[in-house]
Structure 1
Amino acid sequence: MHPSEQVVTITAEFKADAPARYAELRELGPVHRSRFSTGLEGWLVVGHDAALDALVHPALVKNSAPSRDKLAAANYTNDRPGVGLGGNMLVSDPPDHTRLRKLVAGAFSPARTRALAPRVQRIADDLLDRLVPKGEADLVEAFTAPLPVAVISELLGVPEADRADFRRWSSLTLGAPSDPQREAALNLNRYLADLIAAKRRSPADDLLSALVAVRDEDDGRLSEVELVGTAVLLVVAGHETTVNLLGNAVVALLRDPAQADLLRGRPELVPGAVEEFLRYDSSVEHATPRFAAEDLVIAGTPVARGDVVMVALSSASRDMPVPDHGDPAELDVTRNGVRHLSFGHGIHYCLGAPLARLEAATALSTLLRRIPDLRAAAPLDELEWVPSGIMRGPLALPVRFTPR
């Protein structure tokens, strides 16, 4: 049987063991028929070269119009404005994508990101001030989730009292279609629409107020639907990716204490190690769907107009050559020149990459310094992982350490 004709079903069990499963698929071929956890069926691209082709192929578009019938059959609503993740640059193609991306690009420039560094450090320290006296915790609940939530909430101007709901809705929105998922997506959209109205009445020094000003000063630049859709995207992409990046990185270090010791002894390695964590176990397991606007071929596999194509970024990153001819399946925090596709490739490359790198480097270096004897409080092989959607990360991470 040709590898592309084998149907791969992305289940919770698959996602829990994703690195090994993708390695098996790459041995069979770069592209496979798949049934995704979102309910969609289509093509899964797992090989590096095929992924690069798919991510920039002009016939693979982000607007879902070519696949509307297939999305309706799967009851897929994540691309719809107001009830999902629609109305933003991630589900748009040029020229709309170009216009929308330009409007928010300045907020995530390297210079703006560097200016956030002291605040990110303070958030990390404050969280650990509360954590280190306890001696045990769920690290996701106590540290790896609240840090990115606090950062994106402060950027957007979300009140602290609303952040727990904010985090819950965002996490569920990225999951497989279900009543809780749809309710969470609707709640997130409604909340942000209400917050936008509040910012319109009383502007503040935050990104959401700035976007409201753009909308109100020039109707041709940003519609109301695009304003809410962009806010939803910034919430979800602006913190869920980093929550899981941090969780995956800590799991990797708990599995390999020698690597953690290297970083404690040589903290200057941490920024480069972040790239290795992104390559080794990407928090964004799949890119968001692409839709075939015409018949095309990817790595020798025919893809028909209207077909759905998902690129497994985590698999493609493990399929890239690593420096010094090392083993891509091994974690090595000392690697130089690490490359990966965790932030995507082409015009949809992640705008928030500089911020994610800053948050990850700050969080990991602070955690390693302040809790030098961090250890797992439960077998790592028994961790529960995000069961559906495009993300990969631990749902909880029980740890123990010496109280301080």
Structure 2
Amino acid sequence: MNDRPIPPAYPFNEAVALDVDPLYAKLRREEPVVRVGCPFGEDAWLVTSHADMKTILGDPRFSRAMAKERDESRLTPLPIHTSILGMDSPDHTRLRRLLAKVFTMRRVELLRPGIEAEAHRLIDDLVAQGPPGDLMEDFAVPFAGTVVCDLLGVPFEDREQFRGWLDAFSATTVMTEEEIEADTERLHGYIAKLMVHRRGQPQDDLISAMVKASDEEEKLSEKELVELASVLLIAGHETVSSQLIDSLFVLFTHPEQFALLRERPELMPRAIEELMRYVPLISHVTFARYATQDVELSGTLVRAGESVLPAIPSANRDESVFENADLFDLTREHNPHLGFGYGIHRCLGAPLARLEMQVALESLFARLPGMRCAVPPETLEWKDGMQVRSLLHLPVLW
């Protein structure tokens, strides 16, 4: 008989704007590994410290693949085992190796002229229509969307068709199980048709390269290829646009730091790393891992078969790692943030995301002098019922 007390319900509070729940700081000090009950699935250990986060994300004693065998601890109505996100090595290595062959630094750098041209095209449109402009719908979303569509070989003109389907991946309370299943199936069907076309008529894009590499060497199944391309489309479209708009919000609400960045543009690379740390893009936790054997984390024994939930926003505010952790400081030198993850599941697209952030911010600062929020920041609306935090709109003047 299980004599454990009923764990507290998690999340403890709803996410508000880009606030990080102060309870995380208390837990890091007093109980860095704590038992919680999730909206869906079995109970889990919530992990809040930076050191423990690196262990559960980077130690092979913690498994993502085991989640398929369990009622995974989660915030979403349906578990997300899609493709590479639900695998351990060697399957994970097999898929990541395929991406590494086609998603190279050289390919990313070759995208720079097109990314810069797209940023300036969108800013031209903003200037032509005059202030105020909406940096979310008129810049961040089409900018990130165009970049990832060009990279993958997805027709950008189909964006209105598939954009709504992408929400199914990170919906918590905003969609039902049936809606999530239906939209996921639609997205996978759309990608599958593209892959059939590229196999017959290859082009200079990532989907063609993935199909070619799989057919010739890696021998991925059609399901693996479709799910992998879908994950890349979701990450490149929704995640990048949200990170960009949240970063602009942070700069607008930290005017001294914003002014410093405009005065010292050489700080941009450091500023991007600080924005990746400071912005709690994932509202609460990322995907559960399961212990394959007994592991001790901060004095707490996690038994084999138990799940742990990584609270990355908490780890990125860990006072033992980051000096003045709650302070946004774009001059910060020591910044081992986990904004791109850690271990074998670390974001392969990190170089592209950094490039997009750099180009977008530099272009906006250069072309829209005096850019500022057009309304009081506290009146801005945020998306509800999603794992990824994002503004609905960001009206600006310049």
Same fold (TM over 0.5): yes
| Structure 2 residue 155 is matched with structure 1 residue 154 | no
SS at match of 1:7: coil
Quote the sequence identity (%): 37
CA distance in structure 2 between the aligned counterparts of 1:146 and 1:14, rounded to whole angstroms: 26
| Structure 2 residue 21 is matched with structure 1 residue 20 | yes
- Say if 1:94 and 1:378 are closer, same or farther in 2 by CA, change over 3 A: same
Contact 1:157 1:208 in 2 (8 A): yes
CA distance in structure 2 between the aligned counterparts of 1:251 and 1:108, rounded to whole angstroms: 30
Query: Deviation at 1:16?
Result: 4.0
CA distance in structure 2 between the aligned counterparts of 1:74 and 1:270, rounded to whole angstroms: 35
Unaligned 5+ runs, structure 2:
none
1:4-403 matches, cutoff 5 A: 7-10=8-11, 13-14=14-15, 16=17, 18-21=19-22, 22-36=24-38, 41-65=43-67, 67-70=69-72, 76-79=78-81, 86=82, 88-132=83-127, 133-176=129-172, 178=176, 179-218=178-217, 221-285=219-283, 286-319=285-318, 326-394=323-391, 396-402=392-398
Task: Number of aligned residue pairs: give it.
Answer: 388
Which sits farther off after the overlay, 193-202 or 29-38? 29-38
Contact 1:60 1:293 in 2 (8 A): yes
Contact 2:50 2:321 in 1 (8 A): no
Query: Deviation at 1:150?
Result: 0.8
- Say if 1:280 and 1:75 are closer, same or farther in 2 by CA, change over 3 A: closer
- Say if 1:376 and 1:23 are closer, same or farther in 2 by CA, change over 3 A: farther
Unaligned 5+ runs, structure 1:
80-85
CA distance in structure 2 between the aligned counterparts of 1:142 and 1:172, rounded to whole angstroms: 23
What does the per-residue CA deviation read over 1:227-283, in whole Å, with 9 as the maximum and x for residues that have no partner?
Answer: 111111111223332112112211111111121111222222111100000111142
CA distance in structure 2 between the aligned counterparts of 1:59 and 1:145, rounded to whole angstroms: 38
What does the per-residue CA deviation read over 1:138-182, in whole Å, with 9 as the maximum and x for residues that have no partner?
Answer: 321111122111111001111121123333222332112623333
Root-mean-square deviation (CA), in Å?
2.7
CA distance in structure 2 between the aligned counterparts of 1:182 and 1:15, rounded to whole angstroms: 28
TM-score normalised by the chain length of structure 1: 0.87
Contact 2:18 2:279 in 1 (8 A): no
- Say if 1:106 and 1:390 are closer, same or farther in 2 by CA, change over 3 A: farther
Query: Deviation at 1:294?
Result: 3.8
Look up the equivalent residue of 2:227 and give its one-letter code: G
Contact 1:11 1:388 in 2 (8 A): no
Contact 1:15 1:392 in 2 (8 A): no
What does the per-residue CA deviation read over 1:88-128, in whole Å, with 9 as the maximum and x for residues that have no partner?
Answer: 22211111111110101133332222221111111111111
1:82 equivalent in structure 2: none
Look up the equivalent residue of 1:49 and give its one-letter code: A
Query: Deviation at 1:73?
Result: 12
TM-score normalised by the chain length of structure 2: 0.88
Query: Deviation at 1:205?
Result: 1.0
SS at match of 1:135: coil
SS at match of 2:316: helix
Contact 2:214 2:220 in 1 (8 A): yes
Contact 1:123 1:147 in 2 (8 A): yes
Look up the equivalent residue of 2:342 and give its one-letter code: H
CA distance in structure 1 between the aligned counterparts of 2:166 and 2:237, rounded to whole angstroms: 9
CA distance in structure 1 between the aligned counterparts of 2:75 and 2:244, rounded to whole angstroms: 36
SS at match of 1:33: strand
Query: Deviation at 1:11?
Result: 7.0
Look up the equivalent residue of 2:28 and give its one-letter code: R
Contact 2:135 2:396 in 1 (8 A): no
